[in-house]
Amino acid sequence: MQSEEIARVVAEVLKRLEREDLGRVLTADGGGTPSPYGSIGGVSPFPSGCGGVVYPTVDAAVQSAARAQVVFSDQGLELRRKVIRALRRVSIANAERLAKMAVEETRMGRWEDKVQKNIVCATKTPGVEDLVSKAYTGDLGLTLVEYAPYGVVAAVTPSTNPAATIINNSISILSAGNSVVFAPHPAAFKTCVEMMSLLCEAAMQAGAPRGLIATFDKPSQENTKNLLAHPDPRVNIVTGGPAIVKVAMTAGKACKTIAAGPGNPPAVVDETAVFPKCASDIIFGASFDNGVLCTAEKETIVVEAAKDRFLSAMRADPRAYELNASQMDQLTKLVIKEGGKGCKDPVLNRDYIGRDASVIAKGIGLTVPDSVRLLWSLVGNDHPFVWTEQLMPVMPVTVVRDVEAAVALAQQAEGGHRHTASMHSTNVANLTTMGRRMQCSIYVKNAPTIYGLGLGEGYATMSIGTPTGDGLTKTSHFARPLHCALVGYFRIA
| Most distant CA pair in the chain, distance | 79
For residues 116 and 23, membership in a common domain is answered with: yes
Q: What is the pLDDT of residue 34?
A: 31
Domain range spanning residue 345? 266-457
pLDDT of residue 356: 98
8-state DSSP, 336: E
Does the residue 463 lie in any domain? no
Kindly state whether residue 447 falls inside one of the protein's structural domains: yes
Asked whether residue 306 is assigned to any structural domain, the reply reads yes
In a domain, 326, yes or no: yes
What SS3 class is residue 434? helix
| Residue 422: CATH number of its domain | 3.40.309.10
Residue 3's pLDDT is what? 62
Distance between CA 243 and CA 249 in Å, rounded?
10
In the prediction, which pLDDT does 25 show?
35
Q: Are residues 182 and 282 in the same domain?
A: no
Q: Are residues 254 and 273 in the same domain?
A: no
Is 486 part of any domain? no
Residues 280 and 191 grouped into a single domain: no
Q: Are residues 234 and 106 in the same domain?
A: yes
Instruction: Note whether 279 and 257 are same-domain residues.
Output: no
Predicted pLDDT of residue 123: 97
Q: What is the mean pLDDT of each run of 10 residues along the chain (493 residues)?
A: 63 59 36 30 36 88 97 97 98 98 98 98 98 92 96 97 98 99 97 97 97 95 96 96 87 92 94 99 98 97 99 99 98 90 82 98 97 98 95 98 98 95 99 98 97 91 93 97 90 75
Tell whether 118 is covered by a domain.
Answer: yes
Q: How many domains does the chain fold into? A: 2
- Check whether residue 271 and residue 191 sit in a common domain: no
Structure confidence at residue 339 (pLDDT) = 78
Which pLDDT belongs to residue 301? 99
| pLDDT for 243 | 85
Residues 305 and 179 in one domain: no
Same domain, 221 and 325: no
Question: CA-based angle 376:316:273, to the nearest 5?
Answer: 80
The angle formed by the CA atoms of residues 332, 293 and 113, to the nearest 5 degrees, is: 110
Rounded distance, CA 338 to CA 400, Å?
Answer: 25
Please check whether residue 493 lies inside any domain of the structure: no
C-alpha separations of 257 from 73, 149, 196 in Å: 22, 15, 22
Same domain, residue pair 123 and 165: yes
